[in-house]
Amino acid sequence: MAEQYDLIVLGSGPGGYVAAIRAAQLGLKTAIVERENLGGICLNWGCIPTKALLRSAEVFHQMKHAKAYGLAADNVSADIAAVVARSRGVAKQLNQGVTHLMKKNKIAVHMGAGVLKAPGTLEVTSDKGTETLTAKHIIVATGARARDLPFAPADGNRVWTYRHAMTPKELPSNLLVIGSGAIGIEFASFYNDMGSKVTVVEALDRVVPVEDADVSAFLEKSLTKQGLTVLTGAGVEALTVGATGVKAKIKTKDGKVTEGDYSHVIVAIGIVPNTEAIGLEALGVKTERGIIQVDGYGRTGIPGLWAIGDVTPGPWLAHKASHEGVTTAEAIAAELGNKDVHPHPLDRSNIPGCTYCHPQIASVGLTEAKAKEAGHDIKVGNFPFIGNGKAIALGESDGFVKTVFDAKTGELLGAHMVGAEVTEMIQGFVIGKTLETTEAELINTVFPHPTISESMHESVLSAFGRTIHM
């Protein structure tokens, strides 16, 4: 006899487990199916453990520059095995936290690989056998995996994906990072701070190409100053993997092909949604390049079947998946007759992006170029950290805040930051955009002193010719 639920969530990443919790809070009998670790990639092999690694690198960087603060820290060294062990310990702690949340919310956990067999029917296979679960609604939240180079698939020895890069057996002496999106740049920053010689290759004409052009230019200059080699407009044409290293042929922007020797390579060229072999085709689910097409509430077009997270259109971010999880759970509850929930469709224009390299990057909304392309007459503000007292006191005066406004209405169209702790500050602008704020509200907001967040205020003032400290 198949176990019957109101909702089954396939996948327990930051989208899946949040959807399950919200559904349980709304009184739905809920189950979650996971083939590997509760918490998914983000918690176990992505967002959280990488931030633990980056924190170690940040502390190590500060120790090596202690003299700048009037301190002495001589002969400092790093134990990469201990750094990795700390990172894995953080991931384990949070994995246990998700396990606790499942029990607390009375969510049934089925460990195994799930396959959709029919509308409302999921077959789960594990080493213990196969069981059939049924539900009125099913959410697909199976996430994504790293994309391989077609001519040099990752082997975990010399050619790594992000997963291999989180648990290195040794510190690379000479590292090649292919791709300068968030994942590539974070690992380039981490390994550079840990002492590796790092080269970054990006096919497009600038690093972190989804960010504002001014942020990209600032980051490239900063990375180069830190000792990284950055090659933009370049591509890796071949990798020859040996027992002790990798030989790479790189075509640079001037059309020349050079050869270089590297101890390790990290491939960070995007992700592939985990939508194969889970039964979508048989149910007639519409996908484009493996990505499930959904409406603003997660509906797939197949009654009772929903999708969230990295299997749906981007941006492919953990916080976007979590937000979708809540929205979809509430939409399902509403369909089942709950009149107390009022879900709102996802607004992709208000999703922040954060990159935890050194220096950090954070942004929300339109870049200056995109705002112009959209036909806006704009006002742009820019305030450098060198004009901020707290940033100078911290020894973190490299960075800036840039804001983009509609000149006619005063609407905040976008905000872009690079520098210390900007990933913590961006939410101020996200809230502002969500509330449809204009420059008037931001100008009349009192910012605490001394904080780096005062740069946010000054950037707004700059856009309207009212800067105080520059």
Q: What is the pLDDT of residues 252-309, one digit of tens each?
A: 999 999 999 999 999 999 999 999 999 999 899 989 999 999 999 999 999 999 999 9
Percent of the chain with pLDDT over 70: 100
Q: What is the pLDDT of residues 339-355, one digit of tens each?
A: 999 999 999 999 999 99
In which band, very low, low, confident or very high, does the pLDDT at 1 lie, cut at 50, 70 and 90?
A: low
Cβ–Cβ under 8 Å, residues 376 and 413: yes
Report the half-sphere exposure of 2 (CA within 13 A, side-chain side).
16
Distance (Å, whole) CA 414 – CA 363:
7
Length of the chain, in residues: 470
The verdict on whether 449 is a catalytic residue reads yes
Residue 407 pLDDT exceeds 70: yes
pLDDT given at position 308? 98
Q: What is the pLDDT of residues 308-338, one digit of tens each?
A: 999 999 999 999 999 999 999 999 999 999 9
Mean pLDDT of 206-224: 98
Q: What is the pLDDT of residues 422-446, one digit of tens each?
A: 999 999 999 999 999 999 999 999 9
Cβ–Cβ under 8 Å, residues 357 and 219: yes
Q: Which two tokens stand for residue 74?
A: 């001589």
pLDDT given at position 72? 94
Q: Which two tokens stand for residue 399?
A: 């960075």
The DSSP code sequence of 256-271 is -EEEEEESEEEE-S-E
Question: Pairing mode, if any, of strands 412-419 and 360-365?
Answer: antiparallel
- The catalytic position among 358, 416, 449, 469 is 449
Which residues neighbour 254 within 8 Å (Cβ) at sequence distance 6 or greater? none
Amino acid symbol at 153: P
Largest distance between two CA atoms of the chain: 72
pLDDT given at position 286? 87
Residue 172, strand partner residues: none
Q: What is the pLDDT of residues 96-146, one digit of tens each?
A: 999 999 999 999 999 999 999 999 999 999 999 999 999 999 999 999 999
Q: What is the pLDDT of residues 158-198, one digit of tens each?
A: 999 999 999 999 999 999 999 999 999 999 999 999 999 99
Distance (Å, whole) CA 9 – CA 27:
15
**Is this structure's pTM higher than 0.75?**
yes
Distance (Å, whole) CA 151 – CA 249:
12
How many helices (H) and strands (E) the chain has is answered by 14, 24
pLDDT given at position 396? 96
Distance (Å, whole) CA 175 – CA 168:
12
- Torsion, Cα of 348, 349, 351, 357 (10° steps): 120
Cβ–Cβ under 8 Å, residues 9 and 20: yes
Residue 258, strand partner residues: 250
pLDDT given at position 82? 97
